[in-house]
Amino acid sequence: MLSYSFNTRQVKSKLNLGWISTKKRLRKVIKDTTILIYSEAYKNSPIDTGKMKASIYYKINKKDAEVGVNVEYAKYVEYGGGTPRKAGTIPFFTPAVEKGLKHLKRELGK
């Protein structure tokens, strides 16, 4: 299982935003970023049976957001090691998170 989560307080403190103009704007940027990460992970997820791609999810509420992959073997596909097939890595989740965080910083002017 892989996941990435963040909340409004965490984003504000890590990016040294202090007080931004509206909480509504920050929530919108977090929502857009979460959906971007989800979309990129879904688009780049390798397909064998389709189970892993189907398990990619996101959750957004007023203060928190989470995106993840809900199968145990996702970490082996992402990082390698311990797989029965000894397949190489196929990073799909980490690049999606990295792209999302770049988007988040750009949208918030950092």
What does each of the 110 residues of the chain score in pLDDT, given as a tens digit?
Answer: 788 887 777 676 666 555 555 677 788 888 999 999 999 999 999 888 899 999 999 999 888 899 999 999 898 889 887 655 556 788 999 999 999 999 988 887 75
- Residues 9, 13, 104, 90: what is their CA dihedral angle, to the nearest 10 degrees? -90
User: What are the structure tokens assigned to 108, written together?
Assistant: 């918030």
- In one-letter notation, the amino acid at residue 87 is A
Considering its fold, how many domains does the chain have in total? 1
Rg (CA), the chain: 15
Range of the domain at 61: 2-107
pTM: 0.82
